Every structure is written in structure tokens, then in C-alpha cells.
Amino acid sequence: MAILHDLSAQGHTIIMVTHDPKLAAQAERVIELKDGHVIADYQTEHYKHTDKKPESILGEHRKSAFGSFIDRLLEAFKMSLLAMRAHKMRTLLTMLGIIIGIAAVVSIVGLGQGSQQQILANISSLGTNTITVNDGYPRGDPRRRYNDDNLTPEDAEAVGNQPILSVSALR
């Protein structure tokens, strides 16, 4: 911007096209266009050294920041519709990819939740008052059969004599 200001001070005419209002505020004169039509033409506050009054086609009617935001949003929407119409195959493939991705995520989450509920149902069907005690042989470590500390029928009777427990089956 300093180079542009220096060139302007030397008498050169500078024409700058920008969407940035901060850059436009550094110019002497700003002309706002929309769809090829002039909607505002005024001198900026930055250059009040001239005796000319600010020119404006629309007088004091200027859009608010919210109105400008809505205009930019509508313009972006129009451009997106035009791009989708111009590139139909790309739009179709993009939509297909999004649909497949969402379907995959929903399926995986549903499968995970269904499996979790089935596992919890199986665990709760076992009951909370059942304890199974095995001595480790024959399903466990085969070396257990040579140890002298295996469970005996007397151990099962001792457990069965507890007031809060009962032994339902003895192998």
C-alpha cells in the first residue's frame, strides 16, 4: 500500500479492485459494484483534504454490515448452484461419497451398540449370585493334576456350610 500511495503522490492514477473494505478505505474514492451495477460512489474519510463533497448515487443509503453479509452469503449460494449445475457428474459423485460415508458410520455405530446390548444381556442372564469355582484341571493347566493343593470334596462342603452360600453341584 505504501508503494501505491507513493505512486499516487507522484500523480499516477491507481485503480485497485478489492473485496477488503480496509484496503478500500485507504483510497480517495470508492465505487461499490454489485452484479455489474454501481450501488455506491463516495470519497473515503481517509482523504478529507479535498474540498469536494462525497458523491453518492444512492445518497446516504448504505447497507449495514449485516446486509452486506447477507448479500455475500446469497452471492456464494448462487455461485455454488451455478457450479453444481455446470459440473453435474462431480456433484453426483461427491453426493454419492457423502451418502456412502454417512451410511458406513451409521452402520458401524449401530452394529457396535447392538453387540454391546447383546453382550450385556448375556452377562445379566448369568445372574449376580452365581460363582463358579474350578480347580484348574482338566481345562486349565495340565500340571495342576500333580499338585497336592487341588480342590477336594471337603473344600466344597466347607464352602457349602457358609450361611450365605450353597453348593449346587459337585464334580
Side-chain-side CA neighbours of residue 112 (13 Å) = 6
Structural domain for 125, as ranges: 88-129
How does pLDDT run across 15-41, given as a tens digit for each residue?
999 988 888 888 888 898 888 888 888
> Within a 10 A sphere around the Cβ of 43, how many other Cβ atoms?
17
104 and 125: one domain?
Answer: yes
Query: Is the pLDDT at 130 greater than 90, yes or no?
Result: no
Q: With respect to residue 171, please indicate whether it lies within any of the assigned structural domains.
A: no
> In this predicted model, what pLDDT tens digit does every residue of 39-81 receive, in sequence order?
888 888 766 554 444 444 444 455 678 888 898 899 999 999 9
Kindly report whether the peptide bond that precedes residue 138 is cis, defined as omega within 30 degrees of 0.
yes
- Using 50, 70 and 90 to split pLDDT, how confident is the model at 171? very low
Residues 20 and 80 in one domain: yes
Query: How many structural domains does the chain have?
Result: 3
Domain presence at residue 165: no
Quick one: cell of 54? Answer: 462525497
Distance CA 49, CA 28 (A): 10
Q: Render pLDDT for 100-125 as a digit per residue (tens, 0 to 9).
A: 999 999 999 999 999 999 998 888 77
The answer, yes or no, to whether residue 159 has pLDDT greater than 90, is no
Cα torsion angle, 119, 120, 125, 131, sign: positive
